[in-house]
Structure 1
Amino acid sequence: MAEQPLLIEIGTEELPTRSVDELARAFAAGIVDGLAKRGFAVSSESAAVYCSPRRLAVLLPAVAAAQPDQTIERRGPAANAAFGPDGAPSKALTGFAASCGTTVEQLQKLETDKGAWYVFRSEQAGQPLAKLLPDVIGEALKALPIPKPMRWGDHDYAFVRPAHWLVILHGSDVIDAELLGLRSGRDSRGHRFHHNRAVAIADAGSWLASLREARVLADPAERRARIRAEVARAAAETGGQVQLSDALLDEIANLTEWPAAIACAFDDDFLRVPQEALIMTMETNQKFVSVLDAEGRLTRHFIGVANIDSTNPAEIRKGYERVIRPRFADARFFFDEDLKTPLIDQLETLKNVTYQQALGSVWDKVIRVAELARTIANRVGVDAGATMRAAALAKCDLMTRMVGEFPELQGVMGRYYAAANGESAEVAQAVDEFYCPRFAGDGIARGRIGQVLAIAERIDTLCGIFAVGMKPSGNKDPFALRRAALGLARTLIESGLSLELPPLLAEALAQLPDAALAAGLPKGKDGKAPPLDPAARRSELAAELYDFILDRLRGYYADAGVGANRFEAVRALTPADLGDFDARVRAVSAFAGLAEAEALAAANKRIANILRQADPAESRGSVNPALLAAGAETALHAALSEARGALEPLLAARDYVATLKRLAGLRDPVDAFFTDVMVMADDPAVRANRLRLLAGLRESFLQVADISVL
């Protein structure tokens, strides 16, 4: 029989909103994997993944009615043990043949690079898809990522939600199966309100269209496109523009099967509450879409997306406006109550909040961050007094009612409360921005005080948590230290602040109590930690932290299209200033595009190998021109001396691109030197002089990066 489309649909009660897409992808992957293991020519690329709040489905465009015929191979005894000294088959060989239902003469010999074995091969006809598919679906269901399966009725089976229908069609034929207490058929279900009855599916290829006629958009991409269009239409009625994030769109799509947007409004008085709080309330609690004006300010309008194309949308609008009113009233109450207490008055209450047992309270952390921020501010010419004030305020909003309700608003509410208390615009902005970047793709703090605080906060977090022995392990990172390290590195690079990281790590570690350092000491086999040497422990942690932070930059540059070898060429020098590190990476990337790059990288690698194998004492010191032979050796020395003079101002200005371009001009004399000169000469003085010449050449390149890595 020719290949035909295969449809598998499982209908359920409403699925968990945030799990629908993941479950659908996992289900489709399980079906494809199960069929592929059984020899069917299917692939994940061809599988169409469908889902809605009440169904998971996969449609494969072409699946054979049976698996291909299979060659079965069983391996028996090794050839060198298959016959006795008299040439008679061994008991192992005759027993193997008998177990295969054949004779020794019918066995074949398999030759491999690891020896020879006797094998039995037979042809087995492929089994029908209809016989294999129930097991394939059962395996896919068991493999789904369901943390807490639900049971219903008095059945033994469990699933993410109670299941109510099962459709399995190969072309127009129903494949018989019983899963989750359901017998398969061709009856799907339409929209719960618009078409609350069975939908007979004629064949697998018409399933999507049949459901669309029953007011179900089973294609998640089509559903999302309709939501965007509907929301845009409703927003046009208000004269505003919508703020619809991908995350909110996903949630709405997984709540609706036939989405219809309805424009709504709330009382103007609520607009005096910070718009971030109102938007958070709408999106988190009600899945409503906010409407902004041309300047990005929240308007009194919002949009609800219903799962029904109502004949009386005014009633739905009333319901949406009714449910949002108490939510906004709560937000207004929280805001008004928080304003009654100056933000700085919350600082003292942070003493009652434990940050980490060995590291003390959040108040203790604020003190450490403020001191480190003061040091950084003085180094980069930022107002230290304003920085200290912002540091003192930065975590105070954690104790407010609004942040207690919406932890995502920490920093944002601190900015509003600080401004309301009369703090300067710079300080208020820094209270918010020191959390930046909050997530992947988020920008760093824009203001200088915010940048200083972001650096100090992350350094203290990294140092403290590493010190107590809770650094990331595998995929476990409860304190989000990888994100903190990347945020720190990005801020140091993208802010343009010139700061050396190792001294800052040392200063942050110096503020930690010895008890925190002792808490993280590794215990021996006897379960006891060695005596604490505070200085040694701090030095060890500083080195470990610096490496950890640099490791985060590998992914940062990979995302920017910088090859790993270019990153490693700079990392080999471990520059202390990450802004300087970045300038070197960009210079190496520019150098790698030059015609001379490959030859000079190879020459540097060769020089590094020569110097590594030679006596280090021979390569130390200055070159003696009197010992240079005329020709390539003298020419390289002259070219290198001339280049060094030109490099000094370039290196002083950190113009690494120009530095490497100038060094690229040495390619011809370097090539000539290795062609005409024997470095390891018999005369010890000549050999040492040539090693010093090569050491000087390599040292010139190492002022930017180790290009031998390229």
Structure 2
Amino acid sequence: MSNKYLLEIGVEELPARLINGALAQLKENTEKMLKNERIEYTNTETYATPRRLVLIIRGLSDKQSTLKERVKGPAKRIAYDDKDNPTKALQGFMRGQGISIEQIFIDEHNGEEYVYGNVIKEGKDTFTVLSNNMADIIKSIVFPKSMKWGGKNIRFARPIRWIVSILNDRVLPFEFEGIEVGNLTKGHRFLGSNRIEINSVEEYFSKLEDNFVLVDQNKRWEIIKYGSERLAKEKGGNLLIDEDLLDEVTNIVEYPTPIIGRIEKEYLSLPEDVIITPMKEHLRFFPIVNDKGKLLPYFITVRNGNKEYIEMVVKGNEKVLEARLEDAKFFYHEDIKQPLEDYVEQLKNIVFQEKLGTLYDKTIRIQKLSKKIGDYLEVGEETQRNMERAAYLSKADLVTKMVDEFTELQGRMGMEYAKQAGENEIVSTAIYEQYLPRFAGDELPTTTAGSILSIADKLDTIAGSFAIGIQPTGSQDPYGLRRQALGIINIILDKRLNLALGELIDSALYIYVEELGLVFDYSSIKKEIVDFFNGRIKNMFIDMGIRYDIIDGVISTGIDNIYDLKVRADKLNQYLEEDRLTEVLFTFNRVINLAEKTTSTEVKRDLFVEDAEVELYEAFNDIEEKVLSCLDKKEYDKALELFIGLKEPVDNFFDHVMVMVDDEDLRGNRLNLLGKISETMLLICDLSKLVK
């Protein structure tokens, strides 16, 4: 169990974003293969640089474990002749399984006797098993986009140039599209040797490090992070950490050396976002800030190499940044020559979507939808004015020179240019907040105006996309509609907004008809959008730890107030965790099942003839108004408590009253009583969806 295996897939530079996914597949597929092949091992490790994917398997057994299994053969009636001698059918079975007559026995299967064999398969040696499987392991790595090269049949993210395959101190060969599989690897493209001989798994890491390649990405990450922080501290500042950028830089270098450069002071008068965005998004530089978060005139970048000629490298990076900031400076000063409002008319020349009009059309729709949401929430007049103004200016920055060059700054530049034009803080902030949240875990809008504008913008896109038939299918979601729906849900929950989703969808679809004359099947499109949101709600609530059956129960009420659904689900989740509802589920499920047979909730007291039905009628009348009052106050726990109190009279009713009697009036009145109870209960939750 002390065997070690090394696989290195040498490639042209891999895009950083593809590396983590490739390593995950390499690990998972290898472990699955080892299990299927009955090869024991201690652990697997995966590493990567831009030019290699690496797999290490430690603690490999010498060979496969012996397989003992019972194999079914032919039926007994055709396995032996009339003299009990093996027929050709049995002989073929034994020959195919490599067993003798002594390993045969008879057993019954589905009422008929069959021949079975005790098959013992000795394990093959690990060397042979790995040789037979490693080519398939490499081919099993799937990328979002792959390529073919040099007339080869294999597809990979980038061309594979070499493969190292070593078991302990011995090359483990396999055929792979004519690419050499051996013990030769390559060091750093410029600083290392182009021919490094690996004679054992143990020397692999050290030999590559001698050739300026740190194979372990975790070590590279630490060098970049802590080395950059040290340089920032030397200048009296702090590294502005961006974990995604840190991971990306880790995956684009093989031998990291953090270096520090200077930003010319003339550029520091620009808005910080204008400086930071080119640094991070285009050049992969880390900004440095002071203790108050203000940008300092320095940046950190990471060289893929050692410290030789470091001054020259620093100056080169400073010049590259200076060129980007000079462009940004020009764009900024050109843009602010006119107020943001003057850009709105230019939106008429930019198509949002061929069937959904221009960005100007979208602006008008967002304005109208924002107003409807504001009216629904009964926001104050000042907030309503700010919101409508922000909606009108919301897309204006998309036609500025700055955003045309640095698209990542949409919204941010709108906020900055709005301030420059004298718009108030709420309007300016809302323009930025319309795009929030941009991804999972991103910040949410802080202002009411920004929250409403963000909901309106996202819902307009969702409604329009569904109306013209470009809703998400499978893994395809070209307009990011799932992300936008999750953004709407997150904002509603965060701000505790009491919004009826159905009415919002109605408004969004109606505005499309009003503004563009869009033609579509209204009822089916609305249902599709509601179902789409319900799917996102279910997934989000499950991630929050709410039981799936509770989610189904509250959604089945037909209530489409997302915040209200969350409050109900939380209360029910707590009740079930405390096991307080379990004992009443059966009782109330009987109520719901029988209530389905009624078409009315009109109950006549004078038709009751049994004490138990009078008792239930009076008990329900006693709590009905109290339950409705609790629902108005969103006191769902108290409403549930009141309904739990009905268990005893309901059980007594079912014990002593025959509901489905021949007398039509009696039967109908009893069903109507159960229907009235069920109808009120469904205002809280469909208890029939809950699993005991």
TM-score of the alignment, normalized to the shorter chain, above 0.5: yes
Q: Give the drift of 1:236.
A: 0.8
Rate the CA distance shift 1:28–1:504 in 2: closer, same or farther, 3 A: closer
For residues 161 and 464 of structure 1, the distance between their equivalents in structure 2, rounded to whole angstroms, comes to 38
For residues 636 and 27 of structure 1, the distance between their equivalents in structure 2, rounded to whole angstroms, comes to 64
For residues 575 and 23 of structure 1, the distance between their equivalents in structure 2, rounded to whole angstroms, comes to 43
Q: Which runs of 5+ in 2 are unaligned?
A: none
Rate the CA distance shift 1:14–1:484 in 2: closer, same or farther, 3 A: closer
C-alpha contact 2:97 2:119 (8 A) present in aligned 1? no
Matches within 5 A, 1:112-511: 112-113=109-110, 123-146=120-143, 147-149=145-147, 151=149, 160-161=157-158, 163=160, 165-177=162-174, 179=176, 181=178, 183-186=180-183, 188-191=185-188, 196=193, 201=198, 203-205=200-202, 207-208=204-205, 211-212=208-209, 215-311=212-308, 313-379=310-376, 380-382=378-380, 383-511=383-511
C-alpha contact 1:358 1:519 (8 A) present in aligned 2? no
For residues 556 and 20 of structure 2, the distance between their equivalents in structure 1, rounded to whole angstroms, comes to 43
> Are residue 622 (structure 1) and residue 603 (structure 2) matched?
yes
Deviations 1:208-231 (A, max 9, x none): 455456553322223212221112
Q: Give the drift of 1:288.
A: 0.9
For residues 112 and 338 of structure 2, the distance between their equivalents in structure 1, rounded to whole angstroms, comes to 83
Rate the CA distance shift 1:125–1:596 in 2: closer, same or farther, 3 A: closer
Partner of 2:639: 659
- Code of the aligned partner of 1:341: Q
For residues 69 and 554 of structure 2, the distance between their equivalents in structure 1, rounded to whole angstroms, comes to 55
Between 472-481 and 682-691, report the one with greater CA deviation. Answer: 682-691
Partner of 1:54: 51
- Code of the aligned partner of 1:288: F
For residues 426 and 344 of structure 1, the distance between their equivalents in structure 2, rounded to whole angstroms, comes to 16
For residues 237 and 572 of structure 1, the distance between their equivalents in structure 2, rounded to whole angstroms, comes to 61
For residues 478 and 130 of structure 2, the distance between their equivalents in structure 1, rounded to whole angstroms, comes to 41
For residues 123 and 149 of structure 2, the distance between their equivalents in structure 1, rounded to whole angstroms, comes to 36
Q: Give the drift of 1:687.
A: 4.6
Runs of 4+ in 1 over 6 A off after TM superposition: 71-76, 80-108, 154-158, 514-519
C-alpha contact 2:513 2:519 (8 A) present in aligned 1? no
1:702 to 682, 687, 690: 682
Q: Give the drift of 1:573.
A: 1.3
C-alpha contact 2:352 2:359 (8 A) present in aligned 1? yes
> Are residue 584 (structure 1) and residue 568 (structure 2) matched?
yes
For residues 182 and 226 of structure 2, the distance between their equivalents in structure 1, rounded to whole angstroms, comes to 35
Partner of 1:524: none
For residues 343 and 590 of structure 2, the distance between their equivalents in structure 1, rounded to whole angstroms, comes to 63
Partner of 1:641: 621
> Are residue 547 (structure 1) and residue 528 (structure 2) matched?
no
For residues 13 and 680 of structure 1, the distance between their equivalents in structure 2, rounded to whole angstroms, comes to 77
Q: Give the drift of 1:516.
A: 7.5
C-alpha contact 1:506 1:539 (8 A) present in aligned 2? no
Deviations 1:116-165 (A, max 9, x none): 6667775554333323323322112222225343636x988775545555
For residues 176 and 579 of structure 1, the distance between their equivalents in structure 2, rounded to whole angstroms, comes to 60
- Code of the aligned partner of 2:550: R
Deviations 1:456-504 (A, max 9, x none): 2222222211111112211111122222222223333332333323223
Q: Give the drift of 1:325.
A: 0.9
> Are residue 5 (structure 1) and residue 4 (structure 2) matched?
yes
Deviations 1:224-248 (A, max 9, x none): 1222111211111122222222221
Query: Which secondary structure state, in structure 2, belongs to the residue aligned with residue 47 of structure 1?
Result: strand
Between 119-128 and 656-665, report the one with greater CA deviation. Answer: 119-128
For residues 101 and 181 of structure 1, the distance between their equivalents in structure 2, rounded to whole angstroms, comes to 36
For residues 709 and 245 of structure 1, the distance between their equivalents in structure 2, rounded to whole angstroms, comes to 44
C-alpha contact 1:398 1:410 (8 A) present in aligned 2? yes
1:560 to 526, 529, 544: 544
Q: Give the drift of 1:16.
A: 2.6
Q: Give the drift of 1:707.
A: 2.2
Between 499-508 and 428-437, report the one with greater CA deviation. Answer: 499-508
C-alpha contact 2:365 2:515 (8 A) present in aligned 1? no
Partner of 1:572: 556
Rate the CA distance shift 1:32–1:234 in 2: closer, same or farther, 3 A: same
Q: How many residues align?
A: 686
Q: Give the drift of 1:291.
A: 1.2
Partner of 1:525: none
- Code of the aligned partner of 2:171: V
Q: Which runs of 5+ in 1 are unaligned?
A: 521-536
Deviations 1:664-695 (A, max 9, x none): 33344444444555544566655544434433
Q: Give the drift of 1:650.
A: 2.1
C-alpha contact 2:239 2:289 (8 A) present in aligned 1? yes
RMSD: 3.5
Q: Give the drift of 1:571.
A: 0.6
- Code of the aligned partner of 1:231: S
For residues 184 and 358 of structure 1, the distance between their equivalents in structure 2, rounded to whole angstroms, comes to 54
Q: Give the drift of 1:433.
A: 0.8
Partner of 2:591: 607
Q: Give the drift of 1:312.
A: 5.1
Partner of 2:26: 27
Between 310-319 and 392-401, report the one with greater CA deviation. Answer: 310-319
- Code of the aligned partner of 1:652: D
TM-score (norm 1): 0.86
> Are residue 14 (structure 1) and residue 21 (structure 2) matched?
no
Q: Give the drift of 1:21.
A: 2.4
Rate the CA distance shift 1:225–1:111 in 2: closer, same or farther, 3 A: farther
Q: Give the drift of 1:266.
A: 0.6
Query: Which secondary structure state, in structure 2, belongs to the residue aligned with residue 355 of structure 1?
Result: strand
C-alpha contact 1:510 1:538 (8 A) present in aligned 2? no
Query: Which secondary structure state, in structure 2, belongs to the residue aligned with residue 204 of structure 1?
Result: coil
Amino-acid identity (%): 30
Deviations 1:343-391 (A, max 9, x none): 2222222222222222222222222221222222233224433322211
Partner of 1:41: 40
C-alpha contact 1:259 1:307 (8 A) present in aligned 2? yes
